[in-house]
Amino acid sequence: QVQLQESGPGLVKPSETLSLICTVSGYSISSGYYWGWIRQPPGKGLEWIGTIYHSGSTYYNPSLKSRVTISVDTSKNQFSLKLSSVTAADTAVYYCAKSREMASVSDAFDIWGQGTMVTVSS
């Protein structure tokens, strides 16, 4: 079955760039589906960051678009998130997730990673 695993530094300094990787197992990213990043600040709700297709097409949250880059590396079966100029407000659990339908960007996310906590602090 498809599994997703987030990885990356748990602590990032203010003004620096947060970088995370989502490794997909049990399915080849190059075969389809949309892949997303979602975050959740401590004690708060879910916030969508962005979504990428295996071809590289991207969709970003307008409120984060100027700071976000999502890319895909099909050779490693991974997709990644970069968030620049971070502040304490970017402290959150970051999840990667897979779309339920293979070719529908607007569909729900049916498989989620376990999440990784990222703290922004000096």
List contacts with other proteins (CB under 8 A).
36, 38, 45-48, 51, 59-63, 95, 100, 105-110, 112-115
Q: Which is nearer to other proteins, 62 or 122 (CB)?
A: 62
- Residue closer to other proteins by CB (options 75, 89) is 89
Rounded to the nearest whole angstrom, what is the least distance from the CB of residue 96 to other proteins in the complex? 10
Rounded least distance, CB 75 to other proteins, Å? 27
Burial letters 89-119, b for 16+ CB under 10 A, else e: ebbbbbbbbbbeeeeeeeeebebebebbebe
Of the pair 42, 75, the CB lying nearest other proteins is at 42
> If 0-12 CB within 10 Å is exposed, 13-18 middle and 19+ buried, where does residue 2 land?
exposed
**Residue 36 C-beta: closest distance to other proteins, Å:** 7
The whole-angstrom separation of Cα 112 and Cα 3 is 8
Determine contact, residues 5/113, Cβ cutoff 8 Å.
Answer: yes
> Residue 15 or 46: which CB sits closer to other proteins?
46
Shortest reach from residue 116's CB to other proteins, in Å: 11
